């Protein structure tokens, strides 16, 4: 059985989707997993402890201050005895409490006390999901390594249509299997390897107050740094200016311009792996003004631009210090695969991750990505998935390449 002997701690918080969690328990047990449940106060408005206990075959834990629960199974042990914590449904409120590190009920306390991977299946009204507060909370959680499945788009219980429905049970199961598979004995690890990752935009100064920049949020690069670190790599993340928190377990070097990014990457070498996810500005201003340019009333200033160094090409250049595996990104608005293929060849990197950044794709600043992985051996297309999931898959592929000694 796929999940034989694996232990899942399922936290059910208050959403109408809680009924799907009953089916999730049954299907997890069918696959050989054992399931223990924490039911929040809100969750108990939708499903009963009796249903959870009957389906899981285990006592259900509800109260942080219950003498009975604490003697039976303290909250610390509850959170550590599991191989994976699954929060389904994960309400906006619980995500906010997780992001803030609160411990104001048994669920939040277990999530704060755990040292195990956490997978959330958000479920809420589409406006709540789209609210900048929820998006920021989710981004913080993902940057800390929390895994996410869904939400899906469709008709919501409140009658509105949009993103916010909890992922289907089959998708949650697949995400659980994926998350647990990652920790299985025999799973390739990156322990002992050093990875340099570039992320975010660069800012190219015009004068002391103005700069040229681009729309990169840094989400994909930061997620890759976090994913490589989770597989055991020592990671140096060279990041342009972003609003993202530092991923945990990663050394972050902050830079502004392309020249600074190149210098920081060089200083970080030697490395076994380099992943260039930054949207490096192709050009910089030739003569940066020493003082603020004034309007004056004359003609607008003409900016003279000079080409920036290509960091990916520098890291890919053959030589004794070259990382064994160099991965680039190709941000394209047309002819995706053909452009990416020629980019891989001209820059000299081993793999290239191609993505579509045309207007309407939602890639820049968004949480999702649809990518193609190209190597000398050909290309493969990945289905649409979150940037965190792209990062995790890529990290596993990298670990796989080193495990079989296939890293070029
Ligand atoms: N890159 C880099 N240094 C640069 C420009 C790009 O390291 N000065 C890297 C990016 O991090 C990415 C890859 O090169 O891994 C491709 O970036 P992309 O913006 O898609 O391509 P460009 O080289 O900028 O080419 P173009 O703008 O013509 O598409």
For the chain, domains (ranges, CATH) are 7-181 (3.40.50.1950), 194-403 (3.40.50.10300)
Which residue from 343, 349, 353, 355 has its CB within 8 A of the most atoms of ligand 1, so it is best to mutate?
343
Could you tell me the distance, in angstroms and rounded to a whole number, from the CA of residue 124 to the centre of ligand 1?
38
pLDDT tens profile 123-135: 999 999 999 999 9
d(CA 153, CA 138): 17
The dihedral through the CA atoms of 191, 193, 199, 204 has a sign that is: positive
Q: Element (H or E) spanning 107, and its range? A: helix 106-113
pLDDT digits (tens, 9 = 90+) for 344-380: 999 999 999 998 876 666 666 666 778 999 999 999 9
Name which residue sits closest to atom 12 of ligand 1, judged by CA.
329
Please answer whether residues 355 and 363 qualify as being in contact, where contact means their C-beta atoms are separated by less than 8 angstroms. Answer: yes
- 158 among known catalytic residues: yes
Name the nearest CA neighbour of 59 among 320, 41, 321, 70. Answer: 70
How far does the chain reach from its first CA to its final CA, in angstroms?
36
Q: What percent of the chain has pLDDT over 90?
A: 64
Residues near 51 by beta carbon (within 8 Å), at least 6 away in sequence = 22
**In this structure, what token pair is assigned to residue 244?**
């993202």
The CA–CA distances, whole Å, from 27 to 18, 23, 268, 274 equal: 15, 6, 46, 40
Q: What is the pLDDT of residues 288-303, one digit of tens each?
A: 988 998 888 788 888 9
- Rounded Cα gap, residues 108 and 374, in angstroms: 41
In the chain, pLDDT over 70 holds for what percent of residues?
A: 92
Distance 313 CA to ligand 1 centre (A): 9
Ligand 1 mutation pick, 275, 316, 317, 330, max ligand atoms within 8 A of CB: 330
Mean pLDDT confidence for 61-74: 70
Q: For residue 66, is pLDDT > 90?
A: no
With a cut of 60, say whether residue 315 has pLDDT above it. yes
Please tell me the predicted confidence (pLDDT) of residue 269.
Answer: 97
β-strands 152-155, 161-165 pairing: antiparallel
Q: How far is the CA of 218 from the centre of ligand 1 (A)?
A: 14
Spacing of C-alpha 27 from chain mean position: 26
What pLDDT is attached to residue 10? Answer: 98
């Amino acid at each position: 059985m796929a999940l034989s002997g694996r232990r899942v701690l399922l936290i059910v918080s208050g959403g109408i989707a809680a009924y799907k969690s009953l089916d999730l328990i049954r299907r997890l047990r069918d696959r050989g997993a054992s399931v223990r449940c924490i039911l929040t106060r809100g969750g108990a408005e939708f499903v009963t402890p009796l249903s959870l206990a009957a389906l899981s075959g285990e006592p259900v834990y509800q109260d942080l201050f219950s003498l009975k629960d604490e003697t039976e199974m303290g909250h610390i042990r509850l959170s550590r005895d599991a191989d994976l914590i699954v929060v389904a449904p994960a309400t906006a409120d619980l995500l906010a409490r997780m992001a803030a590190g609160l411990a104001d009920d048994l669920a939040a306390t277990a999530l704060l006390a755990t040292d195990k991977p956490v997978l959330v299946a958000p479920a809420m009204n589409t406006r709540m999901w789209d609210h900048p507060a929820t998006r920021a909370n989710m981004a913080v959680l993902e940057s800390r390594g929390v895994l996410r499945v869904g939400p899906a788009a469709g008709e919501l219980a409140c009658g509105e249509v949009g993103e916010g429905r909890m992922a289907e049970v089959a998708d949650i199961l697949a995400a659980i299997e994926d998350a647990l598979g990652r920790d299985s004995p025999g799973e390739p690890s990156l322990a002992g390897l050093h990875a340099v990752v570039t992320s975010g935009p660069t800012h190219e100064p015009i004068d002391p107050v103005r700069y040229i920049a681009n729309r990169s949020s840094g989400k994909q690069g930061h997620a890759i740094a976090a994913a490589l670190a989770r597989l055991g790599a020592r990671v140096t993340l060279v990041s342009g200016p972003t609003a993202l928190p530092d991923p945990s377990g990663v050394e972050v070097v902050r830079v502004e311009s392309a020249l600074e990014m190149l210098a920081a990457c060089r200083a970080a070498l030697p490395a076994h792996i380099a992943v260039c996810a930054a949207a490096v500005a192709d050009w910089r201003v030739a003569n940066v003004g020493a003082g603020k340019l004034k309007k004056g009333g004359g003609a607008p200033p003409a900016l003279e631009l000079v080409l920036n160094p290509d960091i990916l090409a520098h890291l890919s250049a053959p030589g004794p210090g070259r990382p064994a595996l160099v991965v680039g990104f190709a941000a394209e608005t047309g002819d995706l695969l053909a452009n990416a293929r020629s980019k891989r060849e001209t820059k000299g990197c081993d793999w290239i991750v191609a993505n579509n950044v045309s207007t309407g794709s939602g890639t820049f600043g968004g949480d999702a990505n649809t990518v193609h992985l190209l190597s000398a051996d050909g290309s493969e297309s990945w289905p649409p998935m979150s940037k965190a999931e792209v990062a995790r898959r890529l990290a596993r592929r990298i670990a796989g390449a080193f495990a079989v000694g296939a890293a070029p």
